[in-house]
Amino acid sequence: MNSRTLIHALWCFALCVACTFIQIPSGNGSYSSSSKCSYPAVYNFGDSNSDTGVVYAAFAGLQSPGGISFFGNLSGRASDGRLIIDFITEELEIPYLSAYLNSIGSNYRHGANFAAGGASIRPVYGFSPFYLGMQVAQFIQLQSHIENLLNQFSSNRTEPPFKSYLPRPEDFSKALYTIDIGQNDLGFGLMHTSEEEVLRSIPEMMRNFTYDVQVLYDVGARVFRIHNTGPIGCLPTSSIFYEPKKGNLDANGCVIPHNKIAQEFNRQLKDQVFQLRRNLPKAKFTYVDVYTAKYELISNASKQGFVNPLEVCCGSYYGYRIDCGKKAVVNGTVYGNPCKNPSQHISWDGVHYTQAANKWVAKHIRDGSLSDPPVPIGQACL
């Protein structure tokens, strides 16, 4: 054996040994199916798309028939049943997240939900006081309360009787942090300013978003899953109240200019996530393209067993503004009751999705095919 052959043989042997110990991603960028993260908890931040009870606990703003398709009663969710975050926790085999402000019957051992209906990224550009920075501050408050409480009982050499309901301090750095917010910043802007002004305001949203993620990182958060915003131009309320001009509605009846604003927000958000990866090397970031999943569902509604995606299941916006749960009789017709077949509708109340639609979207985003990097949610920590 000559020296060149010997060197080649040794190099191949070393490579085989390395492959035994190093997990190499497959060609499509995903990881070996045998590897999986074990998240002890999930902490969620966002708006009504993932609020499991903050607004209901703070303002009692939700009314029946919310929750009728799964929970059987008011669940604190703006839907007839489960939200995308609920299907995510099911996938991870974690209990449904208790809302941080819900003081009755809550269990925070496996995480907490700080998302609030109407919340925005910027403090004064939404419909709720619980903007993203406030939610992050509440998370830090939770950490502080847990630490002080455990120290207090430790000094007395006793354990709190409700310890099993509390987060474990060591779990904060191992948990999954999910963020789904931005729709209200855009929606609020479109209601009160021009489309051009909303576009100009997106960089400010990104600065606020980055700052809040940095704060979470500074207190120990390491695994982030960040959802972009959906096609707001396809919300029934958007298409109903928008005065269409020639060429401004697409084949699905969605408002093209509004969707373009959402797309620009998502483009800048993705750039921001890439920048966060560079600046926070100890963290793992997954950017999730919810927009594509939702638009695909809307475009293929009939093939997926749904009715017209612009048809509202609960409430009415056609001629009369009657919110879901607020019954009214107009010309002998009763409005405010839910439709008889929520599972065939995409829109629950004109703004939020039904459980059936949320389930469809969750199925198409949790496997990683619409993520960057393209890894399933169970491998986001790798």
Which ranges constitute the DSSP H helices of 256-354?
256-279, 290-299
pLDDT reported for residue 334: 60
Q: 354: pLDDT confidence band, cut at 50, 70 and 90?
A: very high
Number of helical (H) and strand (E) elements in the chain, helices listed first: 10, 8
Give dist(CA 97, CA 180) in Å, integer. 15
pLDDT reported for residue 160: 78
Q: Is residue 327 part of a domain?
A: no
Residues 29-75 have pLDDT tens digits of 445 556 899 999 999 999 999 999 999 999 876 678 999 999 998 89
The catalytic residue positions are 48, 349, 352
Residue 229 in tokens: 């915003």
Decide: helix, strand or coil at residue 54. Answer: helix
Give dist(CA 324, CA 348) in Å, integer. 9
Residues 104-139 have pLDDT tens digits of 889 999 999 999 999 999 998 888 999 999 999 999
User: CA torsion sign, 172 to 81 to 87 to 277?
Assistant: negative
Q: Is residue 200 part of a domain?
A: yes
Contact 312, 350 (CB under 8 A): yes
**Other CB atoms within 10 A of residue 374 CB:** 15
Return all residues near 228 (Cβ < 8 A) that are at least 6 apart.
182, 265, 266, 269, 270, 287, 288, 289, 290, 291
Rounded mean pLDDT, 364-369: 97
Q: Is residue 33 part of a domain?
A: no
Give the bridge partners for 19, in sequence order: none
Alpha-carbon separation of residue 153 from 109, 316, 367 (angstroms)? 18, 53, 42
Q: Is residue 361 part of a domain?
A: yes
CA 104 to chain centre: 24
DSSP 53: S
More confident residue, 87 or 338: 87
Secondary structure element (H or E) that encloses residue 227, with its range = strand 223-227
Q: Which domain holds residue 237?
A: 38-305+355-379
Q: Is residue 2 part of a domain?
A: no
Residue 91 belongs to domain with CATH number: 3.40.50
CA 20 to chain centre: 37
**pTM of the prediction?**
0.89
Q: 3: pLDDT confidence band, cut at 50, 70 and 90?
A: very low
Low-confidence winner among 2-11, 192-201, 220-229 (lowest mean pLDDT)? 2-11
Give backbone dihedrals phi and psi of 342, rounded to 5 degrees, phi first.
-55, -30
Give dist(CA 63, CA 55) in Å, integer. 12
pLDDT reported for residue 333: 61
Rounded mean pLDDT, 273-297: 98
Is the model's pLDDT at 382 over the cut of 70? yes
Domain count of the fold of the chain: 1
Which ranges constitute the DSSP H helices of the chain?
3-21, 54-59, 84-91, 132-155, 183-192, 195-218, 236-241, 256-279, 290-299, 355-365
Residues 139-151 have pLDDT tens digits of 999 999 999 998 8
Mean pLDDT, all residues of the chain? 88
Q: Is residue 187 part of a domain?
A: yes
pLDDT reported for residue 367: 95
Is the model's pLDDT at 188 over the cut of 60? yes
